[in-house]
């Protein structure tokens, strides 16, 4: 039976046996229609722009379009596809497999898979947060050990930890540039190597000044390269479930805070200063394993599209392929086969164009396989609410970092043992993890999503209140209770940071805005511990450091409130 399918403007069949072929087409589509209800598990993965979106077979054609096809009105459903680059079909290894672009420019299409391999991204991020966060939250234990070994002032010793945390954050814009230039995976692996080298170098430190460069500068930059991509890539892979995904991924900090303080205390007891840092160097190499899971989103798109096409063509019991051939000859011969409930119209040719709904167009070019991004965009600070958010984060970090550095020595000054002080940090870390998970679940509820920024604001006031309570603690039990509340609120605040950024500026600005934000965090890391250390050296106790932290939290909450109020007033003016 002779038939011809062309890709000219009208896309109609031109064959003298048109009626007979139309009847054959109807029988094929009826066969497809009779089985598609019972075969709902057949899925076709589509790539929208440079993201993915899964559709069931039912979603390919609406009921109206299916009716048109059954009545032989295929020309009303199928429109001519635009030109495709030569050799740019779905099997072309050089191009993106089936990039589909929506023609509706006003539709904000979500590019995130929201699951699937995204959960392996979350797993890798959990591990990065566990190692980096656990080491950071053990700063108080390390402060005590550095003070015992080098016998310097509190302010001088605090600078080691301050430099490490500060460089991890203030160089955030550089990390954003590297993530845009290279892959998240390669940046994390490079960071893990630098952290390992810094730990080994610190083990051989002859004096405190040497640790400024080994543990502080080198270690801080290495941790930056491992930490920032682990946060950014989760935001890229998730949208609807972003709050839960970010909460789960950052919960690694809480559980790392639960494990690392007691573990490091154990290492110092049995292996001493030298042995402990050698072991930590080996432990930090596991960051490279976590980074290997960070498959770039554009690469995930290619792999998913290729795998899905092979599955549809080989593994499904029911598959329908309509392939239009681009030949210079005026007519073609098509073989129609119906085998094992499989209907297809096929012609052997290397150049194929798959047809879908008319609102999609195909392109396949290698240049589009990896989307280009702007290197850095500091104009984001023109947004008043984002600027206020950055200022609030700076003040929060001054208080937060000081608290975790000085809670262990404060506990020791109250007559508690080194092991008890490590337990207090571990309890804070455990509830930090709980707070991150719970906040992720709650903030993803439909009724809560639009209020996430305001909830974030309220939590900051709670953290400030808890900070004012710490100087009045005298017993280990009281310290454990306060640390539990502190960890719960801090975990909520930190875990939803990237989610709030997206709520303010949108996911397209996540990479650049996050780099700017952690730059402000880094300034807080630089300032917090040394200032609290100076206060301790002057007054002989740690109380003033906690008072300073509480005041910074409250003031930061007021700044964030002002930013939210400004945004709310602008929205009201636009509506009226």
Q: What is the pLDDT of residue 10?
A: 42
Q: What is the pLDDT of residue 214?
A: 95
Q: Where are the beta strands (DSSP E) in 49-154?
A: 51-56, 99-102
Give helix 18-36 / helix 63-70 axis angle, nearest 10°. Answer: 140
For residues 437 and 428, give the distance between their C-alpha atoms in angstroms, rounded to a whole number: 15
Q: What is the mean pLDDT of residues 263-273?
A: 93
For residues 261 and 271, give the distance between their C-alpha atoms in angstroms, rounded to a whole number: 15
- Lowest-confidence pick of 50-54, 112-116, 191-195: 50-54
Q: What is the mean pLDDT of residues 488-516?
A: 82
Q: What is the pLDDT of residue 35?
A: 46
Does residue 98 surpass a pLDDT of 70?
no
Q: Cα angle at 158 between 153 and 159, to 5 degrees?
A: 105
Q: What is the pLDDT of residue 304?
A: 61
Q: What is the pLDDT of residue 341?
A: 41
Does residue 331 surpass a pLDDT of 50?
no
Q: What is the pLDDT of residue 303?
A: 60
- Lowest-confidence pick of 102-116, 126-140, 387-401, 545-559: 102-116
Does residue 108 surpass a pLDDT of 50?
no
pLDDT tens per residue, range 394-439: 999 888 878 888 899 889 888 898 889 889 988 988 898 888 888 8
Q: What is the percentage of the chain residues whose pLDDT exceeds 70?
A: 66
What is the separation of C-alpha 72 from the centre of its chain, rounded to a whole number of angstroms? Answer: 47
CA atoms in the 13 A half-sphere facing the CB of 330:
2
Domains of the chain with CATH codes: 18-109+298-368 (no CATH), 118-296+373-575 (1.20.1250.20)
Higher local confidence (pLDDT), 8 or 398: 398
Taking Cα atoms as reference points, which of 112, 344, 355, 326 lies closest to residue 240?
Answer: 112
Residue 44 phi, psi dihedral angles, 5° rounding? -120, 120
Does residue 496 surpass a pLDDT of 60?
yes
Higher local confidence (pLDDT), 255 or 424: 424
Does residue 364 surpass a pLDDT of 80?
no
- Lowest-confidence pick of 101-105, 463-467, 493-497: 101-105
pLDDT tens per residue, range 149-200: 998 888 899 999 989 888 887 777 788 788 878 888 899 999 999 999 999 9
Q: What is the pLDDT of residue 128?
A: 93
Give the residues across from 369 on adjacent strands: none
Element (H, E) at 81: none
Give helix 139-150 / helix 242-284 axis angle, nearest 10°. Answer: 30
Q: What is the pLDDT of residue 88?
A: 35
pLDDT tens per residue, range 284-315: 999 999 989 888 875 555 566 555 555 555 55
Q: What is the pLDDT of residue 216?
A: 92
- Are 272 and 147 a contacting pair, CB within 8 Å? no
Q: What is the pLDDT of residue 568?
A: 84
Does residue 324 surpass a pLDDT of 60?
no
| Banded model confidence at residue 213, pLDDT cuts 50, 70, 90 | very high
Taking Cα atoms as reference points, which of 230, 227, 173 lies closest to residue 380?
Answer: 173
pLDDT tens per residue, range 74-96: 444 444 444 333 333 333 333 33
Give helix 497-505 / helix 219-237 axis angle, nearest 10°. Answer: 60
Does residue 276 surpass a pLDDT of 90?
yes
96 conformational bin, left if phi > 0, alpha if psi -120 to 50, beta if neither: beta
Higher local confidence (pLDDT), 430 or 204: 204
Q: What is the pLDDT of residue 311?
A: 56
Higher local confidence (pLDDT), 201 or 344: 201
- Are 457 and 560 a contacting pair, CB within 8 Å? yes
Q: What is the mean pLDDT of residues 272-281?
A: 95
Q: What is the percentage of the chain residues whose pLDDT exceeds 90?
A: 23
Residue 360 phi, psi dihedral angles, 5° rounding? -110, 150
pLDDT tens per residue, range 540-555: 888 888 998 999 999 9
Does residue 457 surpass a pLDDT of 70?
yes
């Amino acid at each position: 039976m002779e038939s011809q399918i062309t890709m000219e403007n009208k896309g109609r069949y031109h064959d003298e046996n048109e009626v007979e072929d139309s009847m054959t087409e109807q029988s094929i589509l009826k066969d497809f229609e009779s089985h598609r209800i019972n075969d709902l598990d057949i899925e076709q993965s589509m790539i929208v722009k440079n993201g993915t979106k899964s559709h069931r077979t039912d979603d390919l054609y609406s009921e109206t379009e299916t009716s048109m096809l059954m009545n032989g009105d295929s020309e009303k459903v199928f429109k001519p596809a635009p030109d495709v680059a030569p050799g740019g079909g779905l099997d072309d290894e050089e191009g993106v497999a089936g990039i589909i672009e929506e023609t509706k420019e006003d539709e904000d299409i979500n590019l995130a898979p929201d699951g699937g391999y995204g959960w392996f991204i979350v797993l890798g991020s959990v591990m990065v947060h566990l190692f980096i966060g656990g080491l950071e939250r053990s700063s108080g234990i390390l402060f005590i050990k550095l003070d015992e070994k080098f016998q310097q002032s509190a302010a001088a010793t605090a600078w080691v930890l301050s430099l490490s945390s500060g460089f991890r954050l203030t160089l955030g814009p550089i990390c954003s540039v590297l993530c845009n230039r290279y892959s998240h995976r390669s940046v994390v692996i490079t960071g893990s190597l630098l952290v390992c080298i810094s730990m080994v170098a610190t083990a051989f430190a002859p004096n405190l000044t040497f640790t400024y460069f080994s543990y502080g500068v080198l270690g801080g930059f290495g941790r930056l390269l491992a930490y920032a991509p682990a946060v950014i890539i989760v935001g890229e892979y998730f949208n609807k479930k972003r709050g839960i995904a970010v909460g789960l991924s950052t919960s690694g900090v809480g559980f790392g805070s639960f494990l690392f303080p007691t573990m490091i205390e154990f290492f110092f007891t049995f292996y001493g200063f030298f042995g402990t840092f050698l072991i930590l160097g080996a432990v930090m190499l596991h960051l490279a394993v976590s980074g290997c899971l960070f498959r770039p989103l554009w690469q995930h798109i290619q792999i998913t599209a290729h795998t899905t096409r092979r599955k549809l063509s080989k593994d499904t019991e029911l598959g329908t392929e309509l392939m239009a051939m681009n030949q210079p000859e005026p007519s073609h011969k098509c073989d129609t086969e119906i085998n094992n409930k499989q209907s297809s119209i096929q012609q052997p040719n290397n150049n194929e164009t798959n047809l879908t709904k008319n609102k999609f167009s195909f392109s396949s070019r290698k240049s589009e396989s990896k989307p280009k991004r702007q290197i850095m965009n500091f104009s984001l600070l023109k947004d008043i609410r984002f600027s206020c958010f950055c200022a609030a984060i700076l003040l929060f970090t001054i208080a937060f970092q000081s608290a975790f550095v000085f809670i262990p020595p404060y506990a020791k000054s109250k007559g508690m043992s080194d092991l008890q002080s490590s337990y207090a940090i571990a309890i804070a870390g455990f509830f930090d993890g709980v707070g991150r998970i719970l906040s992720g679940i709650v903030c993803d509820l439909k009724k809560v999503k639009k209020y996430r920024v305001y909830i974030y604001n309220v939590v900051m006031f709670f953290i400030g209140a808890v900070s004012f309570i710490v100087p009045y603690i005298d017993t280990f039990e009281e310290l454990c209770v306060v640390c539990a509340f502190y960890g719960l609120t801090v975990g909520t605040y930190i875990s939803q940071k990237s989610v709030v950024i997206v709520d303010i500026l949108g996911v397209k600005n996540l990479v650049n805005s996050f780099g700017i934000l952690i730059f402000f965090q880094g300034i807080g890391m630089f300032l917090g511990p040394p200032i609290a250390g100076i206060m301790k050296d002057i007054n002989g106790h740690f109380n003033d450091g906690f008072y300073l932290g509480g005041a910074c939290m409250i003031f930061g909450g007021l700044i964030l409130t002002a930013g939210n109020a400004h945004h709310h007033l602008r929205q009201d003016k636009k509506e009226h």
